[in-house]
Structures are given as C-alpha cells and as structure tokens.
Amino acid sequence: MATHTVRFVETGETLACNDRLTLLQAMERLGRKGIPVGCRNGGCGVCKVRVLEGSCERRVMSRAHVAIEEESAGYALACRIIPTSDLCVTVIGKMGRAFARPGQDRKLTGE
Amino acid sequence: MGMTGVLRPGHAAVRVLDMKEAMHFYGEVLGLIETGRDSYGRVYYRAWDERDHNSIILREADQAGIDFFGFKVDSPATLDKLEADVRAYGYPTERIPAGDLLQTGERVRFEIASGHAIELYAEKGKANSPQMVDNPPPWNPESERGIAPIRFDHGLLYGPDIEKVQDFFVNVLGFYLTEQILLEDGKTQLAIWLACSNKAHDIAFVRHPEPNKLHHVSFLLESWEKVLRAADIMSMNRISIDMGPTRHGVTRGTTIYAFDPSGNRFETFAGGYQTYPDWDPLTWTWEEVGAAVYYHDRQLNPAFLEVVT
C-alpha cells in the first residue's frame, strides 16, 4: 500500500493519503478539515477541488459540478479521486451560508 | 375520514451515476424489490408492503437528482378534473401516454414554482400476489432483507418560491399545511410540510435559490428499533450517513439521513403522528430551527441546507 502526500496550497498543510482511500475519506478518517463534506458519493459537488500537480484515479462524478472541460483542467470532487502520486490541490467547494431569503442571491455551492 | 382526490406519493424517478452500483444499493442494501426494466434502461422497484407495481424508478445519467415526483389520484375522472384545474391555475400540463412508465397509466405532468416536475396518475398495475392479500402473514422474507422499508413515503424538495408551491398544492391539489419553519422575520417560510392524507407529510419543501433540487426521498420503517437496524446495515455496507439516528422536531419522526451511491440523499424513518385537515399547522420559529430539524442536537448541520442533488 503506497502512501502519498497531499498538499493544500492555501494553507500549506499536508495530508497522508493511501491508495485505497479517496482524498475525502483520507481527510475525514483523520478528523481533519479543509474540504467541505457533503454526500461523499459524487453527486452534490461541495467537496470540489482542483488538482494542480500529481495524478489520481477518478470515479464517475456529477457533470452538474464538474464539466468535461473542467475535468481536463484538473477539477474534481475529492470524494471521487484516489491519489496515485503526491498531489498539490486547491479547495474550490464551499459550504456557504445558505439561509436564502426572497430576493437574496448567493453564490452557488461549489460552482 | 374520506380520502379522495390525490391519494399519496406514488413514484419518484431518481437519477444515478452508475446503475450497477445503484442497483446493488437499492436492491440489496435498502432491500427494495426489483419489479422491471424498460427500454430506456430505467430500473423499477417497490417496497415489500406496497401494493402497486413500482414506486422508485432509477435512470442512469451524468448528474444525480430527481427527474419527477408522482402522486396517485383516486380515479381517471379525478385525473381529468385535476388536469383541468392545473391548467386553469395557469400551469401548462403534458399528458404522458400509458405504458411510458411500466404498468403505469396516463400521467399528467407539470412544473411547479420550485422548478420540480410533478405528475399525477390514476392507474398502476397491482403487485398483489395471493400471498399478500389472502390470509397474509405479518411479515415475509422480503420484509427482512436489507433495510426493507414498508413503503416509499414522502419527499423533501428544494427550490425557490415555496409560498407559491404551497398555494398550488393547497388550492389546486387539495393538500393542507401541517408544519412550517419561519425565517428571522417571523413571516417568510424557510420550509413547509404538506399532506394529502393523514400523514404528517406527503411532500415538503425548503426554500433554496436553485430550482428543482432533491433533498431526500423517504422510506417508512416500523419502529425506532428498525431505524437502529437500518443504521447498522448502512455501516456494514459503508453507506455514507449524513445524520442520525436521531429525531426530527418537525413531524416527530425518528430518522437517519444518508446518501445513495450517487449522492442522492434518502431517509429511513419511523413514527411521526397522524394529522387531520382541520388542524392548524404547527410552526417552528427561527430561534428553534435547530430543534425543528434535529431535536436532540438542536442545531442544523451545514449539509441540511447545502447538500442537495
């Protein structure tokens, strides 16, 4: 079992991630924070990241959140990628403040 | 009471990212009974104690979420009347031919203010086997396989303009408001629960800027003990749990929120109370929104308002 180091560019923090867990699972199991956690299954989009360096295995994820052209630019949902090398990532997804009121706009989650 | 007009939620069509994974989950872990597949590749299920051919329909797609939510009405005459009423209200309707969904009669489809496609239909093939209707035993092997809910029970949908949704459901489809959560101003609704029967809810809505979103489809269990059993089965199968087991303040249901393998939230719940249409709705204020949703924690988790498909 290989272990890879994932580095978050905003904070410089690192996370050890083995090649059997998704990036999100690796983070959650250690009780770490940084990437918002939603459905964990590729549907909701809140754990969106961009892989700036390194390689990973990707599982199917909702096109509502990662378009094809985005995917080729390194965007992914952290719950659907398994690092196959050391990675450098930036966190895109946000768990915003959602209390929507009539007439009040807010930025869409993870978009 | 006489239950007429719209009877109950009858079907929900859910999009999944990987049909094979979805079928393992819905068929083996949740323990629904597969009842058919159609030429579009859709796969049909019902829960063990349901009497109609199907209630959950899966379609493989490149994004998760809900295609449509359907209610069964009491007769073809009611379907015709409600179709005319919906049109008179100003919503265009579409008739989908019988047989488009397996063993399902003509459906009348329209879009409501929250952006969801809602359907009405009067006819669906019966699933009754002699074992189910003649001298039926209280349980059977299908009622013990997987989580094995009794039925598909209700849905919670997210979208804008929920006051318009309420007006439509109450004044056109004959529902009544059972509960609501109000925002800080004490007037604007954050969420509404609506019934067409004497269940605490048949459908619910939360105000949300993006239209046509699914929060969860819900499955009824018999008891709190079955809710705990469901949680065990979820963990044994590495199902992603969002919240619970716990209790909702709203409806008093005991509950687990979890996600199917495509990230669509589902609920397994038990309990709740019976309502009557002459009852005044229960109101939860902004100060107690946490307890309204999660009675024990008394606070929302961010996912409740943010994580939808």
Q: Sign of torsion, CA B234 B27 A48 B306?
A: negative
8 Å CB contact between B231 and B34: no
In a domain? residue A59: yes
**What is the model's pLDDT at position B260?**
98
Give the number of other Cβ atoms within 10 Å of residue B280's Cβ: 8
- Give the CA-trace dihedral at B21, B23, B26, B31, to 10 degrees: -120
Flag whether A96 is in a domain. Answer: no
Phi, psi of B44 (to 5 degrees): -110, 145
The pTM is what? 0.94
Note whether residue A29 is domain-resident. yes
pLDDT at A19: 85
What pLDDT is attached to residue A95?
Answer: 79
Q: What angle do CA B144, B146, B150 make, to 5 degrees?
A: 60
**pLDDT by position in tens, chain B (length 309):** 578 899 999 999 999 999 999 999 999 999 999 999 999 999 999 999 999 999 999 999 999 999 999 999 999 999 999 999 999 999 999 999 999 999 999 999 999 999 999 999 999 999 877 677 888 899 999 999 999 999 999 999 999 999 999 999 999 999 999 999 999 999 999 999 999 999 999 999 999 999 999 999 999 999 999 999 999 999 999 999 999 999 999 999 999 999 999 999 999 999 999 999 999 999 999 999 999 999 999 999 999 999 999
Distance from CA of B103 to the nearest CA of A (A): 30
Q: Using 50, 70 and 90 to split pLDDT, how confident is the model at A107?
A: very low
**AA identity, residue B46:** R
Banded model confidence at residue A104, pLDDT cuts 50, 70, 90: very low
The full DSSP string for chain B is ----SEEEEEEEEEEES-HHHHHIIIIIIS-PEEEEE-TT--EEEE-TT--BS-SEEEEE-SS-EEEEEEEEES-HHHHHHHHHHHHHHT---EEEPTTSSTTB--EEEEE-TTS-EEEEES-B-B---HHHHSS--S--GGGTSSS--SEEEEEEEEES-HHHHHHHHHHTS--EEEEEEE-TTSSSEEEEEEESSSBS-SEEEEE-SSSSEEEEEEEE-S-HHHHHHHHHHHHHTT-EEEEEEEE-SGGGEEEEEEE-TTS-EEEEEEE--B--TTSPPEEE-GGGHHHHH-TTT-S--HHHHH---
**A34 in contact with chain B, both atoms CB, cutoff 8 A:** no
Q: Which residue has the higher pLDDT, B9 or A107?
A: B9
Is residue A97 in some structural domain?
Answer: no
SS3 A24: helix
How many Å separate Cα B49 from the centre of its chain?
A: 16
CB under 8 Å to A2, separation ≥6 — which residues? A18, A19
The boundaries of the domain holding residue A65 are 3-91
User: A29 CB contacts (<8 Å, ≥6 apart)?
Assistant: A21
Could you tell me the domains of chain B? Answer: 6-143 (3.10.180.10), 151-306 (3.10.180.10)
Instruction: Using CA coordinates, name the residue in chain B closest to A105.
Output: B209
Whether the predicted pLDDT of A100 surpasses 90: no
Q: CA torsion, points B228, B10, B178, B221, in degrees to nearest 10?
A: -10
Give the count of domains, chain A: 1
Closest CA to A50 of A8, A109, A106, A4: A8
Show residues of chain A in contact with B208, CB under 8 Å: 98, 100
B60 in contact with chain A, both atoms CB, cutoff 8 A: no
- Respond yes or no: is residue B201 known to be catalytic: yes
What pLDDT score does B174 carry? 97
- Catalytic residue, chosen from B11, B53, B116, B154, is B154
Residue of B201, B208, B294, B295 marked active site? B201
Q: How far is B245 from chain A (nearest CA, A)?
A: 17
Output the pLDDT for position A65.
96
Residue A99 contacts B, CB cutoff 8 Å = yes
On whether residue A74 sits in a domain, the answer given is yes
pLDDT of residue A96: 64
pLDDT reading at A102 higher than 50? no
Q: Please report the pLDDT score of residue B2 as a whole number.
A: 73
* Cα end-to-end distance, chain A, whole Å: 34
Q: Identify whether B89 is a catalytic site residue.
A: no
User: What is the 8-class DSSP label of residue A44?
Assistant: S
Q: Are the Cβ atoms of B260 and A99 closer than 8 angstroms?
A: no
pLDDT beyond 50 at A4? yes
Which residues 255-284 of B are in CB contact (within 8 Å) with A? Answer: 259-265
Q: Select from B63, B259, B306 the Cβ nearest to the Cβ of A62.
A: B63
Tell me, yes or no, if A31 comes closer than 8 A to chain B by beta carbon: no
Contacts of A65 (CB under 8 A, 6+ apart): A44, A45, A48, A77, A110, A111, B63
Q: Contact at 8 Å (CB) between B250 and B292?
A: yes
Please report whether residue A49 resides in a domain.
yes
What's CA B66's distance to the chain center, in Å? Answer: 11
* CATH at residue A44: 3.10.20.30
Interchain CB contact of A107 with B (< 8 Å): no
Which of B105, B107, B215 shows the shortest CA–CA distance to B154? B215
Q: Given this model, what pLDDT does residue B131 score? A: 72
Query: Cα Rg for chain B, rounded, in angstroms?
Result: 18
